[in-house]
Amino acid sequence: MLDLSLEDRAATLNARYRNHAAVQVLRHALADPDLGKVALVSSFGAESVVLLHMLSVVAPDTPVLFIDTEMLFPETLAYQRQIAERLPLTDIRVIRASAEQIAARDPDGTLHQRDTDACCDLRKVVPLEAALAGFDGWITGRKRFQGGQRVELDFFEPEAPGRLRVNPLAHWRPQDVADYMDENALPRHPLVARGYPSIGCAPCTSPVAAGEDPRSGRWRGQAKTECGIHFIGGKMVRGPIAPDAAPEPETDTMTETVIQTAEIVPLPDAPVLVRDDGFHPVEGDPDVTLPPDTDPSTLGQYLNAGLIAVEFPAMTDGRGFSLARILRELGFAGRIRATGGLIADQYAMARRVGIDEVQIPAALARRQPAGQWLARADWRAWDHRSRLAG
Ligand code: SF4
């Protein structure tokens, strides 16, 4: 498929993975020969640890490109070392401008005071372009809720002239990020707690007050909002953005699809079930509970059960999806309930493999309301029962 046009490759991959969740997009797409060779570009900033952790679970040998502008906060460098030591990523590459380029264009390190676009070009854009040579795509942490052109963001985007961008977190909301970090006990960038929700280079990043746009601390007082690795009409462009070019805003504008749910139960401390029309009280005990390491060859003995629970000890553990899919392939016609560490982003995937309901704790239901679970508007046409019905 690498012979197809960039747009056709993106469309084919989006169709193939349309109802997968973030972890499954990474797990399957990175092994997909039609995607080609891919790297993760990470700033080791406020939210970077989510993708870094996912990658360490599903494909730890994927190259990680870390752009060290040599203007970063010491806390970022320490955080990068901390993450690198903690996660089993095997190919972290530190990208820097060449000493010759620095000597020629910014010998005294003050270019950012005179021309931030030229400084970003020297220290970020040019080194990244060089580092991405030979890759067919790169992974980003961009999300639909960030607004602007991102409200239509797909998992795979063409980036002229010849690369794909992979956006596994396209459907994630801010709470998904927080929940993922909590569940996996991931360390936060130390500057987040000190008022830096978006973290770039030290000379160009200031703390943000309550109520301010999270990115307002970047190049404060300047019209500049992007480092130069920005996109217009799906293309990466270098240098300053023309005033009429409508760059993508980096705001937290919420653009949630409003889903009407038939039944929203009051939320005591009891867990709830997520079904296609909203939250319900937990009812019925499973006839069988399958841990994630259940041998698939033993599933045939459970085909007469009425309700089977499949355990997900963590949201990065996809074995429960495989068990549900195999049960359906064997002809199991009862209900399948997922229990454990799933989040809203994974509901479409759960329905696709044949899971009917997801049991979640009350605290998660309060953070991720029913509309958020059902917000992937097109999953209903792709769920297991719809596909069975033709
Ligand atoms: S963010 Fe500031 S210091 Fe960093 S590369 Fe850009 S202009 Fe230079």
List the CATH number of the domain containing 338. Answer: 3.20.20.70
Residue 142 lies in a domain: yes
C-beta of residue 346 within 8 angstroms of C-beta of residue 21: yes
Q: Is the CB of 204 under 6 A from ligand 1?
A: yes
Residues 232 and 284 occupy one common structural domain: no
Residue 256 lies in a domain: no
Residues 149 and 209 occupy one common structural domain: yes
Residue 104 lies in a domain: yes
DSSP state of 259: -
Residue 232 lies in a domain: yes
Query: In angstroms, rounded to a whole number, what is the distance separating the alpha carbons of residues 240 and 306?
Result: 61
Query: In angstroms, rounded to a whole number, what is the distance separating the alpha carbons of residues 83 and 217?
Result: 24
- The atom of ligand 1 lying closest to the CA of 112 is 7
Query: Residue 49, Cα to own-chain centre: how many angstroms?
Result: 10
* Active site (catalytic) residues: 227
- Per the structure, the complete domain to which residue 290 belongs is given by 272-388
C-beta of residue 354 within 8 angstroms of C-beta of residue 384: yes
Please identify, among 214, 237, 260, the residue that sits at the C-terminal boundary of a domain.
Answer: 237
Residue 87 lies in a domain: yes
Residue 250 lies in a domain: no
Q: How far is the CA of 198 from the centre of ligand 1 (A)?
A: 14
87: left (phi over 0), alpha (psi -120 to 50) or beta: beta
Q: Which residue has the tokens 């301010």?
A: 212
Q: Choose among 307, 49, 35: nearest CA to 183.
A: 49
Residue 176 lies in a domain: yes
Q: Is the CB of 198 under 6 A from ligand 1?
A: no
- The atom of ligand 1 lying closest to the CA of 228 is 6
Contacting residues for 9 by C-beta, under 8 A, at least 6 apart: 1, 2, 34, 156, 158, 164
Q: Please state the domain count of the chain.
A: 2
Query: In angstroms, rounded to a whole number, what is the distance separating the alpha carbons of residues 169 and 345?
Result: 9
Residues 11 and 153 occupy one common structural domain: yes
Residue 145 lies in a domain: yes
CATH assignment of the domain containing 228: 3.40.50.620
Residues 327 and 222 occupy one common structural domain: no
Q: Which residue has the tokens 């690795």?
A: 229
pLDDT at 234: 38
Number of H helices, E strands in the chain: 14, 14
Where do the H-state alpha helices sit in 133-219? 174-183
C-beta of residue 56 within 8 angstroms of C-beta of residue 89: yes
Per-residue pLDDT of the chain (390 residues), as tens digits, is 566 788 888 998 888 887 788 888 888 778 888 888 999 999 899 899 999 999 998 899 999 999 999 999 999 999 999 999 999 999 999 999 999 999 999 999 999 999 988 999 999 999 998 999 989 999 998 888 766 666 778 899 998 888 999 999 988 888 888 888 888 889 999 999 998 888 889 989 888 888 777 777 777 777 666 665 644 433 344 433 333 333 333 322 233 343 444 445 555 678 899 998 888 889 889 999 999 899 999 999 999 999 999 998 877 777 888 999 999 989 999 999 999 878 888 888 888 889 999 999 888 888 888 888 887 656 666 666 665 565
Q: What single letter denotes the amino acid at residue 19?
A: N
Query: In angstroms, rounded to a whole number, what is the distance separating the alpha carbons of residues 296 and 200?
Result: 47
